[in-house]
Amino acid sequence: MRYLLIVAAVLFAAGARAEVPRDFLSRFEKEAGVAASAERGARFFSTRQGGEWSCASCHTEKPTQAGRHAKTEKAITPLAPAANAERFTDAAKVDKWFRRNCNDTLNRLCSAQEKADVMAWLLSLK
């Protein structure tokens, strides 16, 4: 019994609550100071923003489907949470991939508003 209490305490202290995609939408909206727009997110996702690629270059125009990296040809699992329950459940991964992919497609970091808009659109996909 004591062992179970210790395990429960460790899990609680480590933040055992998994994050969900809506947590990231809320976080980005709060950082941006305005509500997200799924329409803006869809447009942003498919438009080249000064870089060589758009988000859709690798994640496809339908992120409910698997994609393929435009340069390496590496398979990419679906980005939309409705098609891939593992997406947007880990803050470190979300921050890492937004940083990396925004740099690749925009040659800069994404703003909180851009991330919120993309999240709103991805969450609207079924």
- State the pTM of this model: 0.84
Residue 107 burial (C-beta neighbours within 10 Å; 0-12, 13-18, 19+): exposed
Single out the residue of 119, 81, 120, 84 nearest to residue 98, CA to CA: 119
* Domains observed in the chain: 20-124 (1.10.760.10)
pLDDT tens by residue, the chain, 126 residues: 554 445 444 444 445 556 999 999 999 999 999 999 999 999 999 999 777 889 999 999 999 999 999 889 999 999 999 999 999 999 999 999 999 999 989 999 999 999 999 999 999 999
Distance CA 75, CA 120 (A): 24
Nearest to 50 by CA among 96, 108, 97, 118: 108
